[in-house]
Structure 1
Amino acid sequence: MTTAQPRPGALGEATLGELAEALRGELIRPDDPGYDEARSIWNGAHDRRPALIVRCHGVADVLKAVEFARSEGLPLAVRGGAHSIPGFSTVDDGLVLDLSPMNGIRVDPARRTVTAQGGCLWRDVDAETQAFGLAVTGGLVSSTGIAGFTLGGGVGWLVRRCGLTCDNLVGADIVTADGRYLHVSEDEHPELLWALRGGGGNFGVVTSFEFRLHEVGPTVFAGLVFYHGEHAEQVLRGYRTAVSGAPDELTTLVNMTTAPPAPFLPAEVHGKPIVAVAGLWSGRPEDGDAATRPFRELAPVVVDLFSPMPYTAMQTILDPLWPRGMWNYFRSAFFDDLDDATTGALIRSYANVPNPLTELHVHHLGGAMGRVPADATAFAARNHDFILNVVARSADADGFPAAREWARGATEVLGPDAATYVNFTGEGGEDRVRAAYPKDTYERLAAIKDTYDPTNLFHLNQNIRPSTTH
C-alpha cells in the first residue's frame, strides 16, 4: 500500500501541542494517565500500543485527526465499539481515532428513522428506538458498536423480517481520506452509499448513520431452549425441517457449545456439551408460542426459556457470556443446506472443540435479507439459507493457537470456496477479503476505493485495496 509509513520520534512537542489545542476532545499519549485503559479493546488477543489516541467529540475532531494522520504518515485505526475481531480498532505506533464519545441519537417516529453517531453501541440505539416501538436489525451482543456491524452487513434477530442492518441504511455522514465531509444518500453520492452497505470501513470515517426503522416490540416472544450435547445431530436434523416452514417474523440459530455455569441451567449440565436453539419472534406476541414450538421440541429438553419479553431484554440476553478481555477469533462460511454431509461435518467439529469457550453457530437466513437483489448493496451473499459462524475463544493466550486452528478447520470442511462474512472474519488477508465478495462486487468496490481513498489511508479493515497499490 502507498500510505506513508510512520516516522518514529518525528512528532515534536509543538506539533502535538497544536493538535491537542485544536481538539474539542482528548489527545491521549503513551505517558498519559489512562493510556492503558484507552488503548485496550474488547478482543484481548490484540495488545497494541498506538502513538496517539484521539477521542473525538464531534466531526471537527474527526476532520483534524484524519488530516493529522495523513500529513504525518501515521497508520490510522478507526474505533467505534472496539469489537473488531482482527483488531483493526487499534494499531502499533499509529493514531487511533476513537469515536466512542460521539454517541448522540435522534429518533424521528413520524418518518420511522433514527440518526445515530458513529460511536453508538446497539444498546444505545435499542433504548431510544424502543421508546417508540421501533427497531432496526442490531447486534446479538448489545456492547457491539453500530459502525463496524453496519458497514460489514449486520446479521441479527430481525434479519429475516427486516433485512440486514446495511439494507436499512438510508443515509450517512462520512469524512473521506482527503478531508471532505460528505452526506451520502440515494440522491447524494449514491455509489458511496452502495459501498457502505457491506463494503466495510474502506471508504472513510462514518460519523453518523441514518437507518430505516420497523415496528417491533416493545414485547416479543423470544429466548433459548437447551438440549443435551449428545442430541446435537438430532437437533440439527430437526432444525433443518423446522426452518423450512419458518415465517419471516422468526429468526433462529443453533449454538453448539459447552454449558456455562449459568443459574438458568441445571448444575448437573454445567461444563458439559449442550446445544441451544435461540430465536426471536417479532410478530404478534400471542402467536409466538405456536411459531417457535417446532424449535422447542427437537429432542429431550434440558430447559426452555422462551417466553414473552421486552425486545431490549433479548438484545442483551447474551451479554454476560461475552465479557471484555477474552481472546477471540471468528471464522464464517455461508452454505445452502443442512444436508447429511454438512451436518456430519458440523458434528465432527463439535466433537473436537478445543476448550469450553469455543462454539459453532448455525444462523438461519433468507426472508427479507434474501429478497434484496445481490447487486443492490456491496453485501452480495444473498442466496444462502445458512451461515456458520465459528467462535474460537480462550480466557488468555494459553490454548488460543489451538482454538484458532480448530476454527479454521471447522469452516474449511464446508468447502474452500465458501463465501465468508466480513464481520466474522478473524484476519485481514486478501484471500479472506476476496472470499467475502463476488468478483464483480470486489471490482466495483475497488473502483470506489480509487475515487475516495486512492492512497489506502483507511487500510486497517477487511481491506479493498485501490488499484494504485497493486
Structure 2
Amino acid sequence: MATLSQSFRGRLVLPEDPTYDEDRRIWNGSVDRSPALIAYCTGVADVIEAVRFATGPAAGLPVAVRSGGHSFPGQSLCDGGIVIDLSPMRGIRVDPQARTARAQAGVLLGELDHETQAFGLAVPAGIVTHTGLAGLTLGGGIGWLMRKYGLTIDQLLSVDVVTADGSFVKASEDENPDLFWGVRGGGGNFGIVTEFEFRLNPLGPIVLAGPIVWPMAESARLLRFYREWITDVPDELTTAVVHRKAPTARYIPSRLQGQPVVMVVCCYAGPVEEGQEVLRPLREDSGSAPVLDLCAPKPFTEHQAMFDPSFPHGRWYYFKSCDVDRLTDDVIDRTAEHAARIASPFTAFPIFQLGGAIARVGEDETAFGGRGAGHTFNINGTTEGPEGFDEERTWARGLWSALAPHQTGVYTNFLMEEGEERVEQAYGAEKYRRLREVKRHYDPGNLFRLNQNIPPA
C-alpha cells in the first residue's frame, strides 16, 4: 500500500476509511463484497501504477475493474482484492467536423449523449444513462440506434489500453489489430481500456420515440402481430417489447399504475413524419387499441433517460438472457404465460429487436457473437431489497428455462456468473479459440479474470 501511495495521484480507500461502505457500493444492491483496496484513478498514469502494484507488491490478490459499476453479476467489485476504479476519468472531446468523439473510461452514457447531441450527433449506446460506457462498449453495446447504425463497437475507431504488464498500447484496425478485434465484444479480458475513439452518426436532436401500451392479457396476440409487422419496418426503427407492471410515474395514468401491461417501446432514427407512418399499423391495425400511447417527438436525450427510474442504484437485480432467431408461436406462448406470473412491481423483461445494421457486419469482423440473431431476451427479476428476491430469481430462471429449446446464443453483457461453458456459447467455438489466443498474448496470467472470463490458451 505504501508503495502505491507514493506514486498514485488519485484517492485510495481502505476498509478503515469512513467512506469505505459508500465507496464499495455498486449498482446491483444484491452484491455485497469487501475489497482490500479501492484505487480511484485520475488518469492513465494512475491506471499503470495500480496495475503494477497488483502484479508486484499485491500479487495474488484478485483485481476488479470498475467504471460505471453496472456489471449485472457485480464483477466490478471483489472480496479481499483491489478495485481499480476509473470513474474519475470523465473527459469527452467531440470533433463535429470529423464526426468523432474521444471518451475516457469513466464516462457514463448520459454524459456522452449530452456532448454529442449538442452537435446533432450520437454513438449508439445503451438504454440507461447511468450505465458505464466502458463495460457496455467492450461487451458489444446494444441500444436504441443499433438497427440504423450498428452496435457501439461498430463505431469504434481506436482504443487506448493498459495491459497486464503495465504497458500502454493503442489498438485500431492498423495498430495491434488482434487486440482491436478482441476488445470489440470480448469484454475487459485483455487489459484496461482507458480511452475510446468513436465515429459519430447524425441524429435528432428530436426523434419519434416512446412506449405504446396494451394490457398484458393481449401479450400473445400482440406479439403475433408484432412478429409480422417488424419484417417490413426500415432500419431506422428499433423496438423492444417490454412486459411488466406499469410503474408509478407521473406520465402513467393512475388507473394503469401497477397493472400488468405489455408495451412496444420504439425509437425512430429518421424524420419524424416517416416514423409516424411506419408506426401507423402498430397503432391502428394490431387488433386492439392501445390503452396508452407515449410515442411522440421528443429530444433523444429524454428518450435515453426513459428507463432510468426503472433501474436505480441499490435495487436487487437478477438476470437471465438468451438470443432467439424468431418469435415463433411457441416462444410467444411461453413468453406470455410466464409474463402473467410477474409478481414484483419492479420486475420487467425487454425483448430487443435486432437485425438491420447489426447483421450487416460480418460475424468474424469483431469478437461479438450472435449478429444473426433476431431478438435478445433480457429477463430480470427485481426487488427493492432482499424481501421477495428469491421468488423473482426463480421466476426469471423459469422463463429462461422455458425458452431453452429456442435459444441460439447470449449477449455477454447480459450474463450473470454462469461459467466458462456459457461464455464459450456466447462466442462460438472457433471465435472463443481465437479470443483465448489474444488473451494469451496480452494477459497470459489471467490478471483480468473478474469478468465473463476467457482463459488464456
1:132-281 correspondence runs (5 A): 132-281=119-268
Q: 1:413 aligns with which of 384, 394, 402?
A: 402
Give the structure 2 partner of residue 311 of structure 1. 300
Residue 208 of structure 2 contacts residue 268 of structure 2 at CA under 8 Å; is this kept in 1?
A: yes
Deviation at 1:42? 0.5
Determine the C-alpha separation between the residues in 1 that align with 2:253 and 2:341: 24
1:61 aligns with 2:61: no
Alignment of 1:15-94 (within 5 A): 16-71=1-56, 72=58, 73-94=60-81
- Aligned letter for 1:81? G
Amino acid corresponding to residue 446 of structure 2 in structure 1: N
- Quote the Cα distance in structure 1 between the aligned partners of 2:310 and 2:108: 17
Could you tell me how far apart the structure 1 residues matched to 2:280 and 2:90 are?
A: 39
Q: For 2:408, what is the secondary structure of its paired residue? A: coil
Residue 173 of structure 1: SS of its match in structure 2? strand
Contact 2:216 2:340 in 1 (8 A): no
* Matched residue SS, 1:19: helix
Residue 353 of structure 1: aligned partner: 342
Residue by residue, what CA displacement relative to the aligned partner does 1:45-94 show, whole Å, maximum 9, x if unpaired?
Answer: 11111100000000000001111111112210000100010110100110
* Alignment-derived partner of residue 460 in structure 1: 450
**CA contact under 8 A between 2:310 and 2:346: conserved in structure 1?**
no
Aligned residue number for residue 6 of structure 1? none
Which region of structure 1 is more displaced relative to structure 2, 144-153 or 414-423? 414-423
1:63 partner amino acid: I
**Deviation sequence 1:157-193 (CA, Å, 0-9, x none):** 0000000101111100000001110011111100101
Percent of pairs with identical residues = 49
CA distance in 2, matches of 1:270, 1:432: 37
| TM-superposed deviation, 1:382 | 1.1
Verify the 8 A CA contact 1:428 1:463 in the aligned structure 2.
no
Residue aligned with 1:83, SS: coil
Structure 1 CA distance for aligned equivalents of residues 226 and 394 of structure 2:
27
Q: Which residue of 1 aligns with 2:93?
A: 106
Task: Tell me how far apart the structure 1 counterparts of residues 422 and 343 of structure 2 sit (CA, whole Å).
Answer: 23
Contact kept in structure 2, 1:281 and 1:291, CA below 8 Å: no
Deviation at 1:395, TM superposition (A): 1.1
Alignment partner for residue 376 of structure 1, among 339, 346, 365?
365
The structure 2 residue matched to 1:433, chosen from 423, 428, 436, is 423
Quote the offset at 1:401 in angstroms.
2.2
Unaligned runs of 5+ in 1: 1-15
The alpha carbon displacement at 1:354 in A equals: 4.0
CA distance, structure 1, for counterparts of residue 241 and residue 449 of structure 2: 34
Equivalence for 1:451: 441
Secondary structure, counterpart of 2:116 in structure 1: helix
SS at match of 1:90: coil
Equivalent residue, structure 2, for 1:333: 322
Contact 2:373 2:408 in 1 (8 A): no
CA distance in structure 2 between the partners assigned to 1:377 and 1:412 by the alignment: 29
State the number of aligned residues: 452
SS in structure 2 of the partner of residue 436 of structure 1: helix
Shift in Å at residue 286 of structure 1?
A: 2.5
Q: Distance in 2 between matches of 1:94 and 1:105?
A: 30
Please, what TM-score do these two structures have when normalized by structure 2? 0.97
Q: How big is each residue's C-alpha offset from its partner over 1:90-141, in whole Å with a ceiling of 9 and x where there is no partner?
A: 0011000110000100111122111100000001100111111110111100
| 2:212–2:294 Cα contact (<8 Å) kept | yes
Query: 1:428 Cα deviation (Å)?
Result: 4.1
Spell out, residue by residue over 1:410-461, the C-alpha distance to the aligned partner (whole angstroms, 9 max, x if none).
1222226531111111224112212211100100000111111111000000
CA displacement at 1:294 relative to structure 2: 2.6
SS where residue 362 of structure 1 aligns?
A: strand
Amino acid at match of 2:129: S
Alpha-carbon contact 1:329-1:391 (below 8 Å) kept: yes
Of the structure 1 ranges 226-235 and 365-374, higher mean CA displacement relative to structure 2 is found in 226-235
Q: Distance in 1 between matches of 2:195 and 2:282?
A: 38
2:102 to 115, 128, 131: 115
Q: Distance in 2 between matches of 1:294 and 1:85?
A: 36
Q: Deviations over 1:332-376 (max 9, x none)?
A: 111111121110111121122242322221111100001111101
Does structure 1 conserve the Cα–Cα contact (< 8 Å) formed by 2:369 and 2:411? no
2-structure distance, mates of 1:294, 1:102: 46
Give RMSD over aligned pairs: 1.2
